[in-house]
Chain A
Amino acid sequence: MITSIATSIATSKADIAASNPALASSSLQMAAAAILGMVVLMGVGFAPMDVVHNAAHDARHSFAFPCH
């Protein structure tokens, strides 16, 4: 009895892991990647600190990010 319950739990866990969680985890990674990209872009293009502005000045103008 216990063995069969354990087996069924293990099977259902395996089923879940084999179906949607794989895709869900993939979507999560896509979202994380996109957020990382946005954070980097905001830092280079929009960060208000003078030092960052001065370092990235010519790149900001070239990408037509609002500058000054």
Chain B
Amino acid sequence: MFRSMVITALGVALVAGLVLSAVQALHVSPIIYAAEVFEFVGPEVSTAPNDGHSHSHNDQAWSPGDGFERVGFTVLSNFLSAFGFTIILLACMFMARDKAQLNISWFRGVVWGLAGYLTFFVVPALGLSPEIPSMEAAPLEGRQSWWVLAVVTTGLAIFSLVFLPGIAKVAAMVFIAVPWIVGAPQPELHGFLHPDAQAVITLEGLQTQFVYATAIANGLFWITLGGLTGYAAKRFIKG
């Protein structure tokens, strides 16, 4: 069964990864590229506080060349992430089927996909807004820990609401509250430290666009991934 789950997840990830890559190439990546133009403009910015940001323009480490190579590695990263999400979703679907008699179908898959969207994108993004390059942010480790906390507690909240009996569903409230009681790490200075006021206005506009673009791209990605996972799980995985 494990083998067929891996193969199914690879197939689903291929399609969902390509859907995401297409939406991303049209609506998300152009915003990243546009923001990067403002990233390394002079000594004023390079001496500004940062947390060891090592971007593709960093000479010290290998990075994919602009154009085909960069897009290729982005598509590969999308595919690998989609594989990770899909196989987690498959494990959850089969667990729910075995323990709670929850049938598997493409439609149920879409609902699972929406739960994944909420868990892995919406709730973490409410605390840590999707960022474009050159935006100030709190130290990376703290943000990564909070992201993991938000994902785990949101997953547990959805599990409590759907699968726990009666009054025990109240546990969901606790799980929803935890990441906000802890609080998402915020930088001392918000926004952009670019010395040119006009550039800051442009970057703020790009940032707003980026939030909408990623919300739509990830929503489409998760609906596709969920629906396909439900369909493929029913059709191809026996056990």
Chain A interface residues toward B at CB < 8 A: 23, 26-27, 29-34, 36-41, 43-46, 50-51, 53-68
Verify if B15 is at the interface (C-beta below 8 Å from A).
Answer: no
- Residues in B with CB closer than 8 Å to A58 are 24, 28-29, 32, 70, 74, 77
Q: How far is the CA of A41 from the CA of B90 in the complex (A)?
A: 15
What is the distance, in angstroms, from B77's C-beta to the closest C-beta of chain A?
3
Across the interface, do B90 and A55 meet the contact criterion of CB distance under 8 Å?
Answer: no
Across the interface, do B77 and A54 meet the contact criterion of CB distance under 8 Å?
Answer: no
Closest to B138 in A: A66
Chain B interface residues toward A at CB < 8 A: 1-2, 5-6, 9, 20, 24, 28-29, 32, 50-51, 53-56, 58, 60-64, 70, 73-74, 76-78, 80-81, 83-88, 90-92, 94-95, 98, 120-121, 124-125, 128-133, 137, 140, 143-144, 146-147, 214, 217-218, 239
Across the interface, do A59 and B84 meet the contact criterion of CB distance under 8 Å?
Answer: no
Across the interface, do A26 and B87 meet the contact criterion of CB distance under 8 Å?
Answer: no
Across the interface, do A64 and B214 meet the contact criterion of CB distance under 8 Å?
Answer: yes
Partner of A61 from the list B62, B98, B131 (CB cut-off 8 Å) is B131
Given A26-B239, A54-B54, A68-B140: A41 in contact with B218 (beta carbons within 8 A) = no
Residue with the greatest number of chain B CB neighbours at <10 A, chosen from A31, A32, A36 = A36
Q: How far is the CA of A17 from the CA of B6 in the complex (A)?
A: 25
What is the distance, in angstroms, from B113's C-beta to the closest C-beta of chain A?
15
